[in-house]
Amino acid sequence: MSERQSAAPEIDVSYVAGLARLDLTEEETAQFQKQLDDILAFVDTLSALEVEGVEPTAHPAPILDCYREDKTDKSLTREQFLRNAPDAALNQVRVPKVVDS
């Protein structure tokens, strides 16, 4: 095996849990160790793939700027808007006070 295709490193879940100050049961430790071993094995499988000449990407499909034209459209007048407001005064919508000074 080359350096890039080396076996997955051994990572002890108990050690990592101790660093994170997590108190895991034996069952949780065994479950997480199996999951971590599966993840590392998958990463090792990915490391074995030949990617020479493949351009790196952040997304599987190209992302295009799909902005629409910024244009005004029919909207409510101030009077219509204020008629729908639960409380209004001085041509403004009144809301309950949320910050104490």
| 82-98 tens-digit pLDDT | 998 999 999 999 998 88
Q: Is 35 helix (H, G, I), strand (E, B) or coil?
A: helix
Contact 55, 62 (CB under 8 A): no
The pLDDT tens digits for 56-77 are 888 888 777 778 888 889 999 9
pLDDT of residue 4: 43
Q: Over the stretch 28-42, which tens digit does the pLDDT of each residue have?
A: 999 999 999 999 899
User: Is the full-model pTM beyond 0.95?
Assistant: no
What are the Cα distances from residue 87, in Å, to 67, 77, 90, 99? 36, 17, 11, 19
What is the per-residue pLDDT for 22? 94
- Residues 52, 47: Cα–Cα separation, whole Å: 12
Domains of the chain: 1-52 (1.10.20)
Q: Quick one: tokens of 63?
A: 């992302």
Query: How many whole angstroms separate alpha carbon 46 and alpha carbon 8?
Result: 11
